Structures are given as C-alpha cells and as structure tokens.
Structure 1
Amino acid sequence: MSEVPGMGEAPDQGSAPDQSSAPDQGSAPGPGPGPVAGRDFRLFWFGETTSLLGNSIAVVALPLVAVLTLDASTFVVGLLTSVAYLPWLILGLPAGAWVDRLPRRPVMLVADVVAFVAFVSVPVAAWAGVLTIAQLLAAAFVGGCANVFFTTAQRAYLPVLVRDEELLAGNARLQGSESTTEVIGPGLAGMLVQAFGAVAGLVANALSFLVSWLCLRAIRTPEPPPPAVERRRLRAEVGDGLRFLFRDPVLRSLAVFSAVSNIALTGLGSIEVAFLVRTVGAGEAATGVVLTLCGLGGILGVLLSPRVSARYGTARAVLICHAGAAPFTLLFPLTGPGFGLAFFVIGGVGCGAGVVAACVITDTFRQRYCPPDLLGRVSASAAVTSFGAIAVGGLLGGTLGALSGVRETMWMLSGLQVMATVILFCGPIRRMRDFPESAHTMTHTITEVDTEKALS
C-alpha cells in the first residue's frame, strides 16, 4: 500500500487497479455466505483492524528505533521503507499465481505467523543488547514477504465473506479501520516509545499479527476450492494476470498512475519522521500527535467516498479525489516549528482524504471487474507495479534526503505527486462517469461516450 505522509500506509491506492462500486450501477446480487454484519466478516474485520493498528504503530516505531536506538542516517531510514516493499518486486507476480492455486485463508494464516516471528525478533534482540541495523532491515524484509502473500490473498478472500452488492460496504469498513488506526497508531507509537522505549511499538505490532491469526482461525464460512483450471507453468499463469492488467486501458491507467504516485508519496513518507524530528525540531510525542492528526484525513476520505461517487459517478470521483489531494502535498515542505506544524497537518488531512476516498472506490472496482479465477494474479500484477514503486520511493527519498537535504527532497517529491495526476487525465477514465463492471461493458461504455461526443 502506498505511503501517505503523515498517514503511514495509504489504503491501497496503488496496490492494484483498484475498485469502485457505484451506488447507481445496480449490479445483480452475487452469491455470498452472509451480510457485512455477519459473524465471520466481523471476525475478519476485527483481526484486520488490530493488525492495521499494529502496522500504523510500526510505521512510526520502526524509524524511531533506527533514529533513536541505532542513530541511523537519513539514507538508512529511507532504506527501511524500501526494503519492506522490495519483496513485491521479487515475489509479487508468482505470489498472485500461487494464491489463485491455493485456498486463501491458510495463506493468510501462515503469513501472520511469519510476520509475528520477524517483528518480535527486534525487541528480543534489543533487550539482549545485540540489535543491529542489519537485523532491523532483515525484519522489515521478512515482514514485507509475509505482507505480499497476506495482501494478495486478502483481496481475493473478501468476496468469499460478503455478497457482491456488499463489496463496497465491506471495503469501506476495512478502509475505515485503516484510516482510524492511522489516526490512533502514530500517537500511540509516540507514547509507547516515550514510556517504554523505542522497541515497545514493535512489540505491539508483533502481537497484532497474533490477534489477526486467531480471528482468521475462528472464521467458519467454508471457502470454495480454487477454480478447476488446467495447471500450467508458473510463468504462463503469471503472464495471464499481466496481460489482463496491461491490455485493459482502465486498469493500465490506474496501475501506471499508482506507480508514479507511490514513488512520490512513499518517498515523502519514508523521510517524514526524520524531517519532523531533525529538520523541524519536533519531539517524539509532537511527531506522533502531528501524524495522528494527519490520519484524520483518511477517516474523512472514507466518509466522502460514497457521497462523491454517488453524485459524480465512480470514475469521475476518482479523478476529483486525486486531483484535489495532490496540491496538499506542497504544504509539507513549508512545515516549521511551533504553529508551523499546522502546514504538515493540513497537508496530511487534505492528501489523505482524497487518496483514501479514491482507494475505496477503486478497490471495489477491481474486485467486481476482474474474473474470479484471475483476481489474485491481476491484484498481484498491479501490486508489483505499485508496491514495487514504493520500494523505489523509499530508496529515492532516503537517497535524495542525504544528498540534497530533507526539506529540498520534500519539495521535489511533492511536485512529482502533483504531476502524477496528469496520467489519469490522459487515460480513458476522463471520458467515463462510472467505472465498468466487466471488460465487455468497459468497451461498450467507451464506445457510447465517444458516440455521444461525436453527436454533440
């Protein structure tokens, strides 16, 4: 998921050609075991919320451990973000094919166990006095590998728990949890670090994976077996997902935008703690408060997404949200001490609201649009482009911060985010009111729009 400065991980805005469920599109109800209010969805939702809270704490705690405990440089702080998302470049494509071959819930269970072991090793090493930068990077990398499989399986698993017409509500609740935890997490991380030491936040993160594992184990809804399709070489199955993604003009446009946007947003997010603590001079607690306030934008985005999509149409809503969010990033480098921190807060709220609202819509679009037997591979293919860009963005932010200065890097990356929106306005989305529900209706929709323009 992409990083929004001041918000930790942005709702998967890049993580796949994402989703949108137009309230006025009226798709027929699909099969599903139970409503969003059902027991199993609540368990899934609670486990995800707990895990997301742990991740939001770790987004602040991990760089604080590097800065305060190991006196890491700005480059190393940026490298931590890059290493955490590097597994998407290495494993993302084959993970999509494997997830389409396997039941999704067992994949998520194993991923939770691996992530727990990776992150609990950091405080154990710190208490033993043997923690090093190398182990911190290794924990981020192994946790990133687990995240590749968990995220790919989770996107394909949600339609098992809810009916088709409830996907938007399910995604909105999950996104709402992510945004809420991004409000609570940074402040909680700051308090934990001040009260119990820098590694305390990573203890909380590790325990959140245990809660997620227990909730998944308690789910009773039977998962249908993977579609009975001819097993081919892994390379051929991966190619199916890539072709579907990049031959489809809507998915392709979203994926390219997400890649460029994630480079900018992750570059900003990777150095935000170093910027606030070292350049601006904010303390650990103040940094946590600032990032907490920025997270309010995500909650606002969740509330706005159904209203904006209903009024303007799902495709237009995505354009409006991203175009409105990008200029707010230009406020980040204006941040100063004292009341000057308000620039960072306003930028974080505005950027987060637009990005999150767009992601709720685009996530639902992908889940409805992609064929079920290709969903894991298409999600993974899109995630490789977006999360791979996050790895590049983290490295770029750290490198530019070390070479050009942190504030100067904030200016450069904020400008890149503003320019990234041009990609969306150059694609087919600008001609649509609503996203299509299938590749066939997508072609029909574009043809209708072109005909209407010609007649007018």
Structure 2
Amino acid sequence: MWRDRDFRRLWVGQTVSQLGEHTTLVVLPLCAVLTLDAGAGELGVLRAVGQAPILLLSLLAGAWVDRWRTRTVMVLADVGRALALGTVAVAGLLGALGLPALLVAGFAVGALSVFFDVAYQSSLVRLVERDQLVRGNSALEGSRSAAQIAGPALGGALVSLLSAPIAAVSGALLFALSCLSIRRIRRGESLPEATQRRSRRHPKPTRGLPSRLPDFTRRRSQRHSESTRDLSQRLSDFTRRERSQRLQEPTQECSQPHPEPRQEHSQRPPEPTQEPPRRPPRVWRRICEGLGFVVGDPSLRAVCLASAAFQFSLAATMTVYLLFLPRELHLSGTEVGLALAATGPGALLGSLLAARLPGRFGHGVVLVSAAALGDGAFLFVPVLHGSSAGTVLALVAVSLVFGTFGQLVNVTVMGVRQALTPDGMQGRAAATITFVGMGLTPLGSLLGGFLADEWGLRPSLAVTAAGMLLSPLLMSLSPLARLGRTLPDRRLLVD
C-alpha cells in the first residue's frame, strides 16, 4: 500500500489538510476571545456558524461526491479554505477585522471541510484494494491524530507570539500545500454514472467502422445511418397505409354493418397525451436513498443516534471549555494549545489500538467501553483550580485519555460503516451519518454559550461533560453492543 504513489499523495495531502483544519479550530476562537474580547454568547455563535455547514451541506455533499471525482472536490476545498483564511489576515492587516469577518471565514472553512472529509473517505475506497481498506483507514486516521498533536499547539503558539490574524496565514499555507499534494494523484476514478452520461452524449460508432476514425468521418457515417433509418421507416408507414386502404375498399362496397372497427383501424382518433409523473430531482432521490439505507440498518441507525448525542454534548462542552481555560484557570495561549494538543498523541495511540482490540475483544465491547472511558474524562476538569504546572499536567492527562479512547471509537465506527455499506452507497452513507451525527453541533455550541452566561463556567462545564455519557449508554442498548470480532461484508452488494 505504501508503495503506491497515489496513496502516499492522498495521505500527505489529507495529513496537511487536517493539520490546517485543527490549527484553524484553535486560531479562530482564540482570535475572538483574546483579540476581540468576545463573550460566551459570541463565542457560541462563532462555533455554531462554523459547524452549521455540517447540518446544511452534509447530505448534498454525499450525493455530489458520489457523482464527482473526489480529487477535484478535495483540491477545490483546499483552495477555498486557503482563500477564506487569507481574507482574515488581510482584514487584520487593514484594521477591519471583526466578528462578522470571523463568522464568514468560519462558515466558509466549515462548508468546504464537509466536502473534503466526505471526499477523502470515499477516495480511499476507490483507491486501495479491499484487503488494504483497514490499513488505509488506520493510516489516514493516524495522520489525523498526528495533525491533532501539532495543530492546536501550533495555533496556540502562533496566537501568543504573533497577532491572531497573522496566525491564520499558517492555516492558509497548509491548505495550499495539501492542494498541491492531492492534485498530483494520477489514478483515474471509475464513476458508473459519469460513464453512463458520457455514453449517452457520445454514442458508439456505427458497427463495421473502425473506432478510431476521425471525428468528421464518424459524424458523416452516423448522419447517413440516421437518414437510412428514417427512409426505411417512411416506406414502412406508406406500405402499411396502402394495405389498410385496399382491405377497406371491398368491405365498403358490400355495405357491411360494422364500419366502426374498420374506422377505428384506419382513422384512429388521437389519444389524449398524458404527461409523465414528475419525479423528484436526481440529487434529492439519491439523498433519500442514503437516508433510507442508513435508517433501515439497525447498526448504522444506532451509530447516528450515538454520534448525535456525543457531538451535541461535545460542542456544548468545548464552547465552555475554551472559555474555562483562559478565564477561570488563567492559562496563556501556549498552555491552552498544549492542553488541546495532548489529544493528538492519545488519538495516535487509539489508532494503533483500533487495529488490534476489535479483533480480540469484539467490536461491540470495544465501542461501548472506549466511549464510556473517553467521554467521562471531562468530568474531572471542573474540579481543577489555578494555573499551576499540576493543573496543566492534569489537563494534558484528560486530553490524552479523551483522545485515545475517542479515536478508538472513531476508527472502529468507520470500519463498521464501511463494512456494512455497498460501494455505490459509501459517500451517501458517510454524509448521512455526518449529517445526523454532527448536525446538532451548532445547537450544542449555542447551548454551551447560553449556559456559560446564565450559570457560570464551572457549573456549565460539569453539566455538559455529564451529557457526553449519553452516547455510550445509547450504544450499549443497540445492536452495536452485540457486534463480534468479525463484521459482515456488504461492500460488494449492488445498491
């Protein structure tokens, strides 16, 4: 797998893109808090706007990615995100940076990230062999974990050392590097729908002619064939009319009392034209197919519900958490970045464990236990006080535990989804789960900001962290908990 140049280019591009994305996730909120002195409500709105594209565009992204070339989608997404962050830097240099500019940039980065994430997951299925799918997922998720190590730390350090708008330039440069790497992928993608559209627009040449004749010769041959078919059709119609008239003449002389059937046969009244029933647009039909497939599968339906509960609670928790660290614990930007970056090494460890633990203990046991341990880690944060080294180490430990078991759940769930989904449904299934699982994150961010304003940071953090335990509870009551060491393979089914 690693000998494949195209896979290496995808891996490098995805890694750099994830690094830029995780840098941006820290730079924009810290820019609002430290530079613009944004409050809890404003920070909640900023995070909600950045997460709103998940709710608005996930289903459309899945339907479109299944029809488009994934490389093109990823390249355009990288270019758009680089331009969005570049505008933040320009606005900062001109002294025009404000919350509206951050909202626009956050929405643009979030929208294009939705397309990029769906595209790179679908690209792996089209790029590697079946027996390399698990290894490919582990490599991509491991690179995402590595990006989580450097991204928050880099973003926090740049915000502390430089101005926050200038720190956004680092994210733009990373997206540009990702674009250059992914653009070099050379392997073609076989898209059945695109092939069918091309065959309808450009019909095959006439039988008996060489397939490589010049275009003008082929077009002339096609016109000649069409004119020949038209002439033969006219002769056939004329012969049919003459025969019916000859059959009618003797019957009319004998004055047969049954002219109506002959009249119907010779002069059939025109039938009223009925318009064909209108069908919904093709994109929406495909979206409904993806929704129906995921909802109809008990395991995938449970993944959606558990993911929705987790993402809603996590969005509320992180909104309060990003305010709790600098204002309640009085941590600097570098210390905040260090605490957030500790999630990365844990996620890297979780990716390594995901290659062994499900096959040894069973996918269901790993999902439920890892979700309970990882999601419960934030319950220890509200008891911390002060900005001592012990507090920073405790936050690092919390992020390490959360990253390890959270990544273990992510990789295992992705493997379950890919194993239970046919090839032609991969993009739509991924987008549907993203839509249902993360569609509530804007509301979670708004709720976190509201609770922080009304109750204070410490009580709000305790409540939102406790809500994260709803996800493992839902998984324990679903068919996911009964998944064994091996998964059924439905990828070769035709949708």
Quick one: which of 348, 368, 373 aligns to 2:399?
348
CA distance in 2, matches of 1:297, 1:219: 30
For residue 439 of structure 1, report the CA deviation from its aligned partner.
5.5
What amino acid is the match of 2:335? A
What amino acid is the match of 2:375? A
CA distance in 1, matches of 2:343, 2:283: 42
Partner of 1:286: 335
Partner of 2:290: 241
Alignment pair present for 1:160 and 2:126: yes
Quick one: which of 458, 467, 480 aligns to 1:429?
480
Partner of 2:307: 258
- Which piece of structure 1 moves more, 211-220 or 265-274? 265-274
DSSP-derived class of the 2:188 partner: coil
CA distance in 1, matches of 2:335, 2:30: 13
Alignment pair present for 1:360 and 2:411: yes
Partner of 1:184: 150
For residue 72 of structure 1, report the CA deviation from its aligned partner.
0.8
| Residues 363-419 of structure 1 deviation map (CA, whole Å, 9 limit, x = unaligned) | 122223211211111111111112212222222212211221111111111111113
| Residues 246-302 of structure 1 deviation map (CA, whole Å, 9 limit, x = unaligned) | 110000001100000011112222232211001111111221222223432212211
State whether residues 339 and 399 of structure 2, in contact with CA within 8 Å, keep that contact through their aligned partners in structure 1.
Answer: no
DSSP-derived class of the 1:295 partner: helix
DSSP-derived class of the 1:129 partner: coil
What amino acid is the match of 1:399? F
State whether residues 331 and 346 of structure 1, in contact with CA within 8 Å, keep that contact through their aligned partners in structure 2.
Answer: no
Equivalent residues in 2 for 1:101-120 (5 A)?
A: 101-120=67-86
Partner of 2:348: 299
Quick one: which of 415, 418, 424 aligns to 1:373?
424
DSSP-derived class of the 1:199 partner: helix
| Residues 332-385 of structure 1 deviation map (CA, whole Å, 9 limit, x = unaligned) | 222222123333222221121111011112212222321121111111111111
Partner of 1:453: none
State whether residues 100 and 226 of structure 1, in contact with CA within 8 Å, keep that contact through their aligned partners in structure 2.
Answer: no
State whether residues 342 and 400 of structure 2, in contact with CA within 8 Å, keep that contact through their aligned partners in structure 1.
Answer: yes
- Given the superposition, is the C-alpha separation of residues 333 and 225 from structure 1 closer, same or farther in structure 2, using an over 3 Å criterion? same
- Which piece of structure 1 moves more, 400-409 or 244-253? 400-409
Quick one: which of 405, 416, 419 aligns to 2:470?
419
| Residues 117-167 of structure 1 deviation map (CA, whole Å, 9 limit, x = unaligned) | 111110110010001101101110111111121111211111122111111
Partner of 2:10: 44
TM-score normalised by the chain length of structure 2: 0.79
- Given the superposition, is the C-alpha separation of residues 37 and 76 from structure 1 closer, same or farther in structure 2, using an over 3 Å criterion? farther
State whether residues 384 and 391 of structure 2, in contact with CA within 8 Å, keep that contact through their aligned partners in structure 1.
Answer: yes
Alignment gaps of 5+ in structure 1: 1-34, 443-456
Partner of 1:333: 382
What amino acid is the match of 2:366? A
Quick one: which of 346, 355, 360 aligns to 1:311?
360
Partner of 2:322: 273
CA distance in 1, matches of 2:492, 2:181: 38
State whether residues 71 and 185 of structure 2, in contact with CA within 8 Å, keep that contact through their aligned partners in structure 1.
Answer: no
- Given the superposition, is the C-alpha separation of residues 310 and 65 from structure 1 closer, same or farther in structure 2, using an over 3 Å criterion? same
Alignment pair present for 1:78 and 2:44: yes
State whether residues 168 and 364 of structure 1, in contact with CA within 8 Å, keep that contact through their aligned partners in structure 2.
Answer: yes
Quick one: which of 94, 113, 116 aligns to 2:60?
94
Task: Tell me which structure has the larger Cα radius of gyration.
Answer: 2
CA distance in 2, matches of 1:234, 1:189: 38
What amino acid is the match of 2:478? G
- Which piece of structure 1 moves more, 220-229 or 97-106? 220-229
For residue 217 of structure 1, report the CA deviation from its aligned partner.
1.0
CA distance in 2, matches of 1:428, 1:368: 15
For residue 194 of structure 1, report the CA deviation from its aligned partner.
2.2
What amino acid is the match of 1:383? T
CA distance in 2, matches of 1:75, 1:295: 28
- Given the superposition, is the C-alpha separation of residues 68 and 269 from structure 1 closer, same or farther in structure 2, using an over 3 Å criterion? same
CA distance in 2, matches of 1:313, 1:96: 30
What amino acid is the match of 1:259? A
Partner of 1:29: none
- Which piece of structure 1 moves more, 277-286 or 36-45? 36-45
State whether residues 61 and 202 of structure 1, in contact with CA within 8 Å, keep that contact through their aligned partners in structure 2.
Answer: yes
DSSP-derived class of the 2:38 partner: coil
For the aligned residue pairs, the C-alpha RMSD in angstroms reads 2.1
CA distance in 1, matches of 2:485, 2:302: 15
State whether residues 77 and 116 of structure 2, in contact with CA within 8 Å, keep that contact through their aligned partners in structure 1.
Answer: yes
What amino acid is the match of 1:216? I
What amino acid is the match of 2:448? G
| Residues 78-131 of structure 1 deviation map (CA, whole Å, 9 limit, x = unaligned) | 222211110122122122111112222111211111111111110110010001
Partner of 2:252: none
What amino acid is the match of 2:83? V
| Residues 62-83 of structure 1 deviation map (CA, whole Å, 9 limit, x = unaligned) | 1111012111111111222211
CA distance in 2, matches of 1:165, 1:290: 37
What amino acid is the match of 1:238? I
- Given the superposition, is the C-alpha separation of residues 435 and 131 from structure 1 closer, same or farther in structure 2, using an over 3 Å criterion? farther
DSSP-derived class of the 1:149 partner: helix
Alignment pair present for 1:206 and 2:176: no
Greater RCO (CA < 8 Å, at least 6 residues apart): 1
Partner of 1:4: none
State whether residues 423 and 491 of structure 2, in contact with CA within 8 Å, keep that contact through their aligned partners in structure 1.
Answer: no
Alignment gaps of 5+ in structure 2: 198-279
State whether residues 375 and 402 of structure 2, in contact with CA within 8 Å, keep that contact through their aligned partners in structure 1.
Answer: yes
- Which piece of structure 1 moves more, 316-325 or 407-416? 316-325
How much identity, in percent, do the aligned residues show? 32
CA distance in 1, matches of 2:439, 2:4: 35
